[in-house]
A and B are shown apart, each in its own frame.
Chain A
Amino acid sequence: MGFKQFEGADEEFNLEQMEAETEQMLRLRMITKDNATFARTKGGFVSLDLSESIAAEHYDRIRVVRSFPFTDRNKYISIRTIDEKSKEIGMIRDLTTDVDPETRKMLEEQMDIRYFTPIIKKINNIKDEYGHAYFDVETDQGPCKFVIYMNSSSVVNLSDVRLLISDLDGNRFEIPDYTKLSARELKMLDLFL
Chain B
Amino acid sequence: MNLKFNLPKRQSELLALGEGETIRYCSPYDIDTNGHWMNNGYIVVTDRRLVVLTDQAVSEQIPIKDIAFLKCESLVNNGILVARNEGDTEDRIIARFSMKHVSRVAFVAKGALLIKEGSKKEAVSRERDHVCPVCGRALRGMSECPKCSGKPSAFRKFLGFCGQYKWLLLLIAFLMLATSAVQLYIPEVQKKFIDKNLRPAVGTTQEILVYALTMAVLSVSLIGISVARYYTCMSMGTRISKDLRRQLYHKIQKLSLSFIQDRRPGALMNRITGDTAQIRRFMEDGFAGMFSCLITMISAVVVMVRLSWQLTIICVAFVPIALGLSISFRKNIHRRFHMQWHKSDKINSGLQDVLTGIRVVKSFGTEEQEAENFKALAAEFAKVQKRNEVFWAKLFPVISFVMGLGIYFVTYFGGVRVIEGPLTVGELTQFISYSWMLYGPLGWMTFLPRMITQLMTSLERIYDVLDEEPMIQDHENAVEIDVKGAVEFKNVTFGYHSYEPVLEKINLSVKPGEMIGLVGASGTGKSTMINLIMRLYEVDDGQILIDGTDINDLKIEKYHSQIGVVLQENFLFAGTIYNNLKFAKPDATEEEIIRAAKMANAHDFILKTPDGYNTYVGEHGFNISGGERQRLAIARAILNNPKILILDEATSALDTESEYLIQKALERLTANCTTFAIAHRLSTLKDADRLVVIDGHQIAEVGTHNELMEKKGIYYGLVTAQLQMQALKGEEVNTEAAPAVG
Chain A residues proximal to chain B, CB less than 8 Å:
1-4, 6-7, 10-11, 14-15, 18, 41-45, 60-61, 69, 112-118, 129-132, 134, 139, 141-145, 147, 151-152, 167-172, 190-192
In the complex, A168→B128 CA distance in Å? 12
Q: Which 4 A-B pairs have the closest CB atoms?
A: A43-B92, A116-B78, A168-B130, A170-B99
Give the shortest distance, in Å, between A161 (CB) and chain B (any CB).
Answer: 16
In the complex, A18→B729 CA distance in Å? 13
In the complex, A68→B740 CA distance in Å? 49
Q: Which residues of B contact A15 (CB under 8 A)?
A: 724, 727-728
Check if B379 is an interface residue, CB within 8 A of chain A: no
CB within 8 Å for A6 and B92 given contacts A15-B727, A152-B342, A191-B338: no
- Total interface residues on B, CB under 8 Å, equals 52
Check if B741 is an interface residue, CB within 8 A of chain A: yes
Tell me which of A18, A41, A143 contacts B37 (CB under 8 A): A143
> Is there contact, CB below 8 Å, between B75 and A134?
no
> Is there contact, CB below 8 Å, between A112 and B342?
no
Closest A residue by C-beta to B456:
A130
Q: What secondary structure prevails in chain B residues at the interface with A?
A: mixed
Q: Which residues of B contact A6 (CB under 8 A)?
A: 709, 712, 716, 720
In the complex, A3→B93 CA distance in Å? 49
CB within 8 Å for A170 and B77 given contacts A7-B720, A130-B454: yes
In the complex, A130→B275 CA distance in Å? 13
Closest A residue by C-beta to B723:
A7
Q: Which residues of A contact B454 (CB under 8 A)?
A: 130
Give the shortest distance, in Å, between A142 (CB) and chain B (any CB).
Answer: 4
In the complex, A130→B706 CA distance in Å? 64
Tell me which of A41, A141, A171 contacts B99 (CB under 8 A): A171
> Is there contact, CB below 8 Å, between B720 and A14?
yes
> Is there contact, CB below 8 Å, between A171 and B724?
no
> Is there contact, CB below 8 Å, between B92 and A18?
no
Most buried by A among B96, B342, B728: B342
In the complex, A145→B719 CA distance in Å? 55
Q: Which residues of A contact B75 (CB under 8 A)?
A: 113-116
Check if B36 is an interface residue, CB within 8 A of chain A: yes
Q: Which residues of B contact A170 (CB under 8 A)?
A: 77, 99
Q: Which residues of B contact A118 (CB under 8 A)?
A: 37
Check if B382 is an interface residue, CB within 8 A of chain A: no
> Is there contact, CB below 8 Å, between A147 and B131?
yes
A–B pairs, 5, beta carbons within 8 Å = A42-B92, A44-B93, A45-B92, A190-B339, A191-B342
> Is there contact, CB below 8 Å, between A141 and B338?
no
Check if B202 is an interface residue, CB within 8 A of chain A: no
In the complex, A116→B742 CA distance in Å? 59
Tell me which of A4, A115, A142, A152 contacts B76 (CB under 8 A): A115
Closest B residue by C-beta to A65:
B76
> Is there contact, CB below 8 Å, between A113 and B80?
yes
In the complex, A192→B78 CA distance in Å? 24
> Is there contact, CB below 8 Å, between A11 and B727?
yes
Chain B 731-742 interface 0/1 with A at a Cβ cutoff of 8 Å (1 = within): 000000001111
Closest A residue by C-beta to B716:
A6
CB within 8 Å for A171 and B77 given contacts A190-B335, A191-B339: yes
Give the shortest distance, in Å, between B108 (CB) and chain A (any CB).
Answer: 17
Check if B457 is an interface residue, CB within 8 A of chain A: yes
Check if B13 is an interface residue, CB within 8 A of chain A: no
> Is there contact, CB below 8 Å, between B130 and A141?
no
